């Protein structure tokens, strides 16, 4: 579900090799359509609000404009196009299978930062991503993994008191969403019923410590059958 610029890897390698403390590098991520619109790259984590921030999302920019922009440190780069030094993997290990999909990339980046490596965004390196093409945008499966894994990620990594506050914020947002999908007439459809139930099971799985690939009962809700 991705396409890369022929020079992307070369540009990432050049930056990665320029500083021994750089551990992970990533390119500008464009939407597949329109191809000049940015999806991600300048990415940050708001620990207080338990949210991810993509500062450049929706920005329209040409290749020539990106070519003059310098690499910058960020909180994370997306793993659909990430270059990681071998020494980083040897030090922090592989991606955490508890996530299965979604938030596994943030977890990996944060573990890299905690090991004193820099995470760097390289604007001139470019790729195009068909966002959520794997499972479908806002599908019941995506809803389940995003909710459960957001709870796991912020509970694991949020600093100090924000561990509790961030987790509570996610739970409250999820409960409000479940309420809306249950009681508001416009959401009384089969699609939203599945997403509501997927969210309920996400909360259950987090509290019961059920991580990794979703269980058969969750799969029946998300995919039918």
Q: pLDDT grade, residue 218 (50/70/90)?
A: very high
The torsion defined by the Cα of 71, 40, 164 and 218, in degrees rounded to 10, comes to: -140
Are 61 and 36 in contact by the 8 Å Cβ rule? The answer is yes
The domain total for the chain is 2
Q: pLDDT grade, residue 192 (50/70/90)?
A: very high
Q: Which of 129, 163, 182 is the last residue of a domain?
A: 129
Better pLDDT: 163 or 132: 163
State the CB neighbour count (10 A cutoff) for residue 189: 11
Closest CA to 132 of 95, 94, 170, 80: 80
Q: Determine, yes or no, domain membership for 108.
A: yes
Give the per-residue pLDDT at 64. Answer: 93
Q: Determine, yes or no, domain membership for 135.
A: no
Give the per-residue pLDDT at 138. Answer: 81
Are 81 and 179 within one domain?
A: no
Are 54 and 123 within one domain?
A: yes
Give the per-residue pLDDT at 137. Answer: 57
Are 50 and 107 within one domain?
A: yes
Are 83 and 153 within one domain?
A: no
What whole-number percentage of the chain has pLDDT above 90?
A: 89
Assess whether pLDDT exceeds 60 at residue 165: yes
Are 172 and 105 within one domain?
A: no
Phi, psi for residue 4 in degrees, rounded to 5: -120, 150
Assess whether pLDDT exceeds 60 at residue 132: no
Give the per-residue pLDDT at 135. Answer: 46
Handedness of CA 194, 157, 74, 114 (dihedral sign): negative
Q: How many residues would you count in the chain? A: 225
DSSP state of 81: G
Q: At 8, list the tokens.
A: 């992307």
**What would you report as the CA-atom Rg of the chain, rounded to the nearest whole angstrom?**
19
Q: pLDDT grade, residue 216 (50/70/90)?
A: very high
Give the per-residue pLDDT at 136. Answer: 47
Q: pLDDT grade, residue 79 (50/70/90)?
A: confident
Instruction: Give the residue-averaged pLDDT of 69-97.
Output: 96
Q: Determine, yes or no, domain membership for 134.
A: no
What whole-number percentage of the chain has pLDDT above 70?
A: 97
For residue 181, the enclosing domain spans 140-223
Q: Which of 129, 160, 195 is the last residue of a domain?
A: 129
Are 161 and 109 within one domain?
A: no
Q: Determine, yes or no, domain membership for 144.
A: yes
Quickly list H helices, the chain.
8-16, 63-67, 86-92, 104-114, 140-157, 162-183, 190-208, 216-223
pLDDT digits (tens, 9 = 90+) for 47-76: 999 999 999 999 999 999 999 999 999 999
Q: Which of 108, 129, 150 is the last residue of a domain?
A: 129
Assess whether pLDDT exceeds 90 at residue 172: yes
Give the per-residue pLDDT at 130. Answer: 81
Are 118 and 151 within one domain?
A: no
């Amino acid at each position: 579900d991705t396409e890369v610029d022929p020079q992307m890897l070369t540009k990432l390698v050049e930056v990665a090799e320029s500083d021994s403390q750089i551990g992970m590098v990533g390119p500008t991520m464009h939407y597949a359509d329109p191809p000049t619109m940015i999806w991600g790259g300048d990415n940050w984590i708001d620990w207080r609000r338990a949210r991810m921030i993509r500062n450049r999302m929706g920005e329209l920019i040409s290749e020539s404009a990106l070519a003059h922009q310098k690499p910058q440190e960020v909180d994370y780069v997306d793993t659909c196009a990430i270059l990681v030094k071998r020494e980083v993997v040897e030090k922090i290990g592989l991606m955490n299978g508890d996530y299965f999909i979604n938030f596994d990339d943030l977890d990996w980046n944060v573990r890299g930062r905690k090991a004193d490596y820099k995470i760097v965004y390289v604007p001139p390196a470019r790729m195009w991503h068909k966002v959520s093409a794997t499972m479908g945008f806002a599908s019941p499966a995506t809803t389940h993994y995003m909710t459960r894994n957001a709870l796991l990620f912020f509970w694991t990594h949020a600093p100090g008191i924000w561990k509790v506050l961030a987790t509570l914020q996610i739970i409250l947002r999820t409960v409000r969403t479940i309420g809306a999908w249950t009681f508001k007439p416009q959401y009384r459809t089969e699609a939203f019923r599945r997403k509501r139930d997927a969210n309920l099971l996400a909360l259950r799985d987090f509290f019961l410590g059920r991580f990794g690939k979703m269980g058969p009962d969750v799969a029946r809700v998300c995919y039918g059958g």
